[in-house]
Structure formats: C-alpha cells, structure tokens
Amino acid sequence: MISPGRWPGNYRSAFIVTVEFDADLRIRALIPDAAERTKSLSVGQYGATRGVTRLLGTLERSHIRATWFIPSENLERQQLHCAAIVRAGHDLGNMGVALEDLSRLDLSEQLHLIDTAQAAFRRGTGRAPIAFRSARGSYAPGLPAALVARGFAWSSSWRGDDLPHFHAGVARSLVELPIHYELDDYGYFVFNLDPPIPAGSARIASTREVLGNWKTEFAAYRDEGLCFVLTLHPELIAAPGRIAMLREFFDYIRSFDDVWVATGGEVASWWTKTAPPNLPGHPVEVFDRVRDGELERHRSTGA
C-alpha cells in the first residue's frame, strides 16, 4: 500500500510540528473591543508569558524542530521569545501581520500583508521565511502563484489530503502541507468565558481523549505511510497539564524508529525532488479546472 521511496531511507511515514504563536493577537482579532479587556487579553498573553518557553523545552526534549508561524507584530513585540525560537533551530513561517482574515482582502491586499511581514522577518532575523499559512480566511485567486514568485517553497492552509501535494497550474512548484482540524489543538482547547469563545461556550475537550484521538490518527498515518501535520498554539497546549499530554504524545511518536520527524521545509524539499505531479482527481486540480465555469454559471443563472 505504501509506495516505495515515498520517504527518505527506511522511513515509513512523516511527522511535522507546526506552531502558531498568536499571543493576544487571536483575542484582538476575534473580539472587536478587546483592546481594554485585560482579562481576555491575558488569556492569549499567557502564550508569551509562559507558553513559548515551556513548548520550546518540550520540543527540545523530544529533539523535534518545528515551524513557528509568527505574525510579524509578535515578531516585533516578542523579540526575546522569537530569538529563543530561532536559537533553538526552529524554522519560521509567515502568517501575516496580526492574524488578519484573508477573506476580507483582495490579492493585492493579501500580498501587502505578506510583504510587510517578510520585511519584518528580514529586519528581525536576517532572513525571510519560505513557508506561508493563512491565520484566518481564504487565499485569493492567484495567491499561490504570487507566493512562488516571492520565493516561498511551501504553504500549509488547505485540507484536501493527508500527503503533501503541489498547487495547481502555474503555482505547481508550491508544495502544500495540508492541515486538519482534528490534528490542531485549537478546536479542542480554545476557550474564553466572556466574551464567549467558542461562541456557544462549548466545554473544553478532555485532554486525555485528545491524546487518544491524536494517537489513533498517528498510528493510522504511520500504518499508511502518510504525512501527519500537527498544529499547536503555545497559548493552549503549554498549560502545565496539557504539556504533559504533549510529552506523552511525542514519546509515543519517538517510540517508532521509522517515522521521519522533519521540518515542513525538509518535507517540502523532498516532495519537490521526488513526487510525481498531482493526479487529475486531486481536489486542487478539480478546483482549478471547474472554478471559472462554475462562477460563470453562477453569475448567469443566479443559482
């Protein structure tokens, strides 16, 4: 079932950790009058106060290098933390400036954000990331091609696969490392009492059961030779109790010697060198093929 040579050497499957360092920007983005809500802001600020350091320690303990998507506003406001992230050997990724909703922006506005953030990375770290993730919202048509033109090697915002894949058409050299809600701590753990996040004040998920979900998925990803992309938020996963769950999860992954624990950049580079083009049934190819016709039909019939 697993294609020989899909992964380097004797590796059977791949495992990637991505981190989104939101601090209080998520609260500011979701709650319009957050600026003076000291308690709600502190829910996110915990990610900087305690989360980053604790998560860095856990990654180091398991010898995992991650990609940290850092909004450039945090790059500037959290310089000590960002320096520690770089010093520990992690990759950095571009996620805009302050968790903007891309769906409200056209292509040129999206690119302005991305360029602004790249400039901040160059100033702050001496180099510009080659990875991009949408903090919220959708890529405008043409964004993947524009990312290629700006030197980005990979993107990680779409959800149509459990292996890396290429983007369609002229953006085909851009690798996508697809993400999944069930492999992201956010949907399980985000919580603010008032104003309520989630909107329906959903109960926080069971830490033990989230570990169970992740282990079940990971075992099957490994069995099938797939690419598991975990997404973490220091604001959420680095609470003292939850970080123990993460340690247990990393220990489980490290108990297999045939899992390629790699950075997104390493996997994207490998995929570029070794993988065949997307098949015609890939969701990104279907989307690329039918979008214009469907929009035209929608405009002409209103249905």
Site string for another protein, 90-129 (x = CB under 8 A): -------------x--------------------------
User: According to the 3-state scheme, what is the secondary structure of 133-145?
Assistant: CCCECCCCCCHHH
Among 72, 74, 157, 263, contact with another protein (rule: CB under 8 A): 157
Of 106, 42, 47, which Cα lies nearest the Cα of 82?
Answer: 47
According to the binding rule CB under 8 A, does residue 245 interact with another protein?
Answer: no
What CA–CA distance (Å, rounded) separates 3 from 215?
Answer: 23
Size of the site for another protein (CB under 8 A): 55
For residue 236, which amino acid is it? L
Compare residues 126 and 280 and give the one whose CB is closer to another protein. Answer: 280
Compare residues 63 and 208 and give the one whose CB is closer to another protein. Answer: 208
Nearest approach, Cβ of 123 to another protein (angstroms)?
Answer: 30
According to the binding rule CB under 8 A, does residue 159 interact with another protein?
Answer: yes
- On the CB side of 151, how many CA atoms lie within 13 Å of its CA? 9
Contact region with another protein (CB under 8 A), list: 56-64, 114-122, 175-183, 238-246: 175-183
The label of the residue with tokens 């998560």 reads 55
Say whether 105 sits in a helix, a strand or coil: coil
Nearest approach, Cβ of 221 to another protein (angstroms)?
Answer: 5
According to the binding rule CB under 8 A, does residue 195 interact with another protein?
Answer: no
Contacts of 129 (CB under 8 A, 6+ apart): 91, 92, 93, 94, 118, 121, 152
Of 84, 83, 22, 67, which Cα lies nearest the Cα of 48?
Answer: 22
> What H or E segment, with its residue span, contains residue 41?
helix 38-46
According to the binding rule CB under 8 A, does residue 70 interact with another protein?
Answer: no
Contact region with another protein (CB under 8 A), list: 39-47, 116-124, 138-146, 263-271: 138-146
Instruction: Provide the binding-site residues for another protein, judged by CB under 8 A.
Output: 103, 134, 136-141, 157-162, 178, 180-182, 187-188, 197-206, 209-210, 212-213, 216-221, 223-224, 226, 281-284, 286-287, 290-291, 294-295, 298, 303
